[in-house]
Every structure is written in structure tokens, then in C-alpha cells.
């Protein structure tokens, strides 16, 4: 059943969606927020954890200075996410795997909700809060299945397998996303203003390669004027309708 607030989908997008083979979907915090995931980002000097701003407790410097404090913060965040479930936007994107021969899902989110919805091969630009990684040998463990102890490979400490402020992206993640964007026919930018680099390059790379760039967001963003089409509204309302409608 179509949403009563379904956006107007252009004939151009209908045709492209129906015939596309290579599609890239870039998602940001707005998609997860629709599932109830807190963004944790405060304005100005907002203290988010024991008097420390978000970009301090979630920084590479804090990791080196006080690993237990960083773990306490991320344990708290995981506890808040225990009951969070994928929303219709996550499910619609996962269903697109059966529709498009080549679907690349790229996310700035660390909550794993795309995978819970059934998406495969998700490129996680900022890591995953449900994984831990050894600080020395970089062996990873799934925190949904194992307790957080010392690394079983080398015995050294584990850290959250997420990209903290001041750190580089996981090796190869951006490169794989950029390669997919360079040859895609459709690029959906969902729930993100795409202002954080290098993720912000993805829509530009898609457009340079003749991809049709579509933004889905409740509000206009700095990216809106760059896109070929803008669908205003919640991703959970729009994406299921888009798949059914075209």
C-alpha cells in the first residue's frame, strides 16, 4: 500500500529506476534516526558523556589516553541500540538486491541496521559498533556473539571497530565506494547532507560518470541544488513507495 504522503516521482526517475543495472545508495544518520538511533551529536559545547563533548570521547586521542573510558562510552551506546530494529527504508534497500544486478550500499552509519535488514556486502565507511578490533594485529570479533576480552590472536587490547575523530577510514572502503559510484546509473543519497568528506565525494563521482543523483531527505541540504532530483520526506516513507511505484 502506498504512503499517503508519497512524493511525486518524475517520469525520468521512473524510467531510470526501471532500467538501471548499477545502483549506489549512500546513507547517513537520517536513515538510522527513523529507527530511533540517537545521533549523539550536540551543538556547540554540548556535553554528551561525563562532561566530554562527542568529538572528544569519540576521538583517536581519547583512545590512546583512556581506552576504558572509550569502551564505557561505546558500551553505553550499544546498550541504547539493543532494541532498535531496521525501518522500512532499510528493508526497501535490502529488497533492491533482487531488483538490480549491481547494488552497492555505502553507509556512514555504524549501527549495522542495513545488515539486519538483509543487505549484503555493505561498505561501512565509519566501521561498526557491534565489532571490536585488536589494536595490534587488527583481528576483529563480533560483539553480538563474543564477550569483549583480550585479542585471542595476540593477547593485546581490543578497541571499538569504528572510525573515531582524527582517524582514517578503513583501508579500501572509500575506494570501493568510489569505484561503484564512477560506473553507476543511479545514485541515491539518503538521510545525509553529504558534507562529511570523503563520503561527500560519492555523489560528485557518480555525476561525473553520468549517474543520475537523487537526494531523499526531509529537508533541503547543501547537496540539493547539485542533485538531478530531490524527493522531500522520510526515507521510510519514500523508498518503499519508489520500489513499488516504478
Phi/psi at 7 (5° precision): -75, 165
Strand partners, 229: 214
Q: Distance (Å, rounded) from C-alpha 51 to C-alpha 220?
A: 33
Asked if residues 32 and 129 have their Cβ atoms less than 8 Å apart, the reply is no
Asked if residues 229 and 80 have their Cβ atoms less than 8 Å apart, the reply is no
Q: Distance (Å, rounded) from C-alpha 157 to C-alpha 229?
A: 47
Sheet harboring 127-134: ordered strands across?
A: 140-142, 127-134, 158-162
Using alpha carbons, select from 226, 221, 212, 225 the residue that is nearest to residue 11: 212
Strand partners, 232: 217
Catalytic-role residue among 90, 114, 126, 146: 126
The distance in angstroms from the start CA to the end CA of the chain is: 14
Asked if residues 127 and 140 have their Cβ atoms less than 8 Å apart, the reply is no
126 is catalytic: yes
Using alpha carbons, select from 10, 15, 23, 33 the residue that is nearest to residue 217: 33
**Residue for grid cell 533492491:** 96
- Positions annotated as catalytic residues are 126
Amino acid at each position: 500500500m502506498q504512503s499517503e504522503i508519497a512524493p511525486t516521482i518524475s517520469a525520468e526517475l521512473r524510467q531510470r529506476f526501471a532500467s538501471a543495472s548499477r545502483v549506489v545508495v549512500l546513507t547517513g544518520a537520517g536513515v538510522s534516526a527513523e529507527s530511533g538511533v540517537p545521533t549523539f551529536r550536540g551543538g556547540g559545547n554540548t556535553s554528551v558523556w561525563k562532561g566530554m563533548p562527542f568529538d572528544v570521547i569519540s576521538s583517536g586521542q581519547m583512545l590512546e589516553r583512556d581506552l576504558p573510558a572509550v569502551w564505557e562510552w561505546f558500551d553505553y551506546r550499544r546498550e541504547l541500540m539493543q532494541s532498535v530494529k531496521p525501518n522500512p527504508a532499510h528493508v526497501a534497500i535490502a529488497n533492491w538486491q533482487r531488483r538490480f544486478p549491481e547494488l552497492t550500499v555505502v553507509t556512514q552509519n555504524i549501527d549495522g541496521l542495513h545488515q539486519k535488514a538483509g543487505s549484503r556486502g555493505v561498505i561501512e565507511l565509519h566501521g561498526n559498533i557491534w565489532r571490536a578490533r585488536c589494536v595490534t594485529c587488527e583481528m576483529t570479533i563480533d560483539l553480538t556473539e563474543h564477550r569483549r576480552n583480550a585479542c585471542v590472536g595476540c593477547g593485546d587490547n581490543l578497541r571499538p571497530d569504528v572510525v573515531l575523530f582524527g582517524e582514517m577510514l578503513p583501508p579500501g572502503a572509500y575506494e570501493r565506494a568510489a569505484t561503484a559510484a564512477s560506473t553507476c546509473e543511479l545514485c541515491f543519497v539518503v538521510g545525509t547532507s553529504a558534507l562529511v568528506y570523503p563520503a561527500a565525494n560519492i555523489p560528485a563521482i557518480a555525476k561525473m560518470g553520468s549517474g543520475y543523483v537523487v537526494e531523499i531527505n526531509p529537508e533541503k541540504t547543501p547537496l540539493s541544488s547539485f542533485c538531478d532530483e530531490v524527493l522531500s520526506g522520510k526515507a521510510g516513507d519514500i523508498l518503499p513507495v519508489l520500489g513499488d511505484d516504478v
